[in-house]
A and B are shown apart, each in its own frame.
Chain A
Amino acid sequence: NAGVTQTPKFRILKIGQSMTLQCTQDMNHNYMYWYRQDPGMGLKLIYYSVGAGITDKGEVPNGYNVSRSTTEDFPLRLELAAPSQTSVYFCATGQGTSYEQYFGPGTRLTVT
């Protein structure tokens, strides 16, 4: 039981490049979330999903897109990367009847 896995662990992008951050869970949780953590700050919600086929914006969605075609996967797409997107990205999952969220190990992204 791997829990929540994220790939890659680290990535360096040039300005204007695109990439997809992968998140996969094997806990059969309905809810999935993407957060970003800027240096010295708390986590802020980018996008979330309440189930396959349903996604919605969080606090800081600009510059990102998501999709949720299966329960297990919730990829985050960065289009036209900018230095302001340099951050650590966390994927998390949760169940509707549970109050805990389970976090992946994070992806450190640098845009130069």
Chain B
Amino acid sequence: AQTVTQSQPEMSVQEAETVTLSCTYDTSESNYYLFWYKQPPSRQMILVIRQEAYKQQNATENRFSVNFQKAAKSFSLKISDSQLGDTAMYFCAFRRETSGSRLTFGEGTQLTVNP
């Protein structure tokens, strides 16, 4: 079974600064997908970024980028130029390559961006 671990229950950052959220996972699969989801107070689950394990290049979406270390089974999220609207719970999630596979989530990191 796959497991996802987020070791930082809470983090804070000043507006406009950079912050990195950590995630490690455990799997015996060689091909899989990794995700970061954002959950603001509205509770809506919003996909931030995804990474395919077979791709060596780290994914980037505007101010969001990942550091994917496959051998170390590490998948951290970097948020640059933090904005107040980035305040949310962030979840790391794993999905097997098989079509329709479920997501396995970490326990989340509550990020607060301070003005």
A residues lining the B interface (CB < 8 Å):
30-31, 33, 35, 40-45, 48, 50, 58, 88, 90, 92, 94-97, 99-101, 103, 105-106, 108
Contact = CB atoms under 8 A, between A and B. Distances in A.
B75 interface: no
Given A43-B91, A48-B102, A96-B99, A103 B45 contact: yes
Contact of B50 (A50, A96, A97, A99): A99
Nearest to B43: A106
Interface of B: 4, 9, 33, 42-45, 47, 50, 52, 91, 93, 95, 99-100, 102-103, 105-108
* Chain A, interface SS category: strand
B108 A96 contact: no
A105 B42 CA distance: 8
Contacts of A97: 99
A106 B40 CA distance: 13
Nearest to A32: B100
A38 B9 CA distance: 15
A30 B103 contact: no
Contact of B44 (A41, A45, A100, A103): A103
Query: Which of A31, A42, A58, A101: most chain B Cβ within 10 A?
Result: A42
Contacts of A44: 105
Contacts of B106: 42
A43 B43 CA distance: 12
Given A30-B100, A31-B100, A40-B108, A105 B91 contact: no
A106 B52 CA distance: 27
Contacts of B100: 30-31, 48, 50, 94-96
B30 to A, nearest CB: 16
A33 to B, nearest CB: 6
B102 A100 contact: no
**Top-4 shortest CB links A-B:** A42-B105, A96-B99, A103-B45, A31-B100
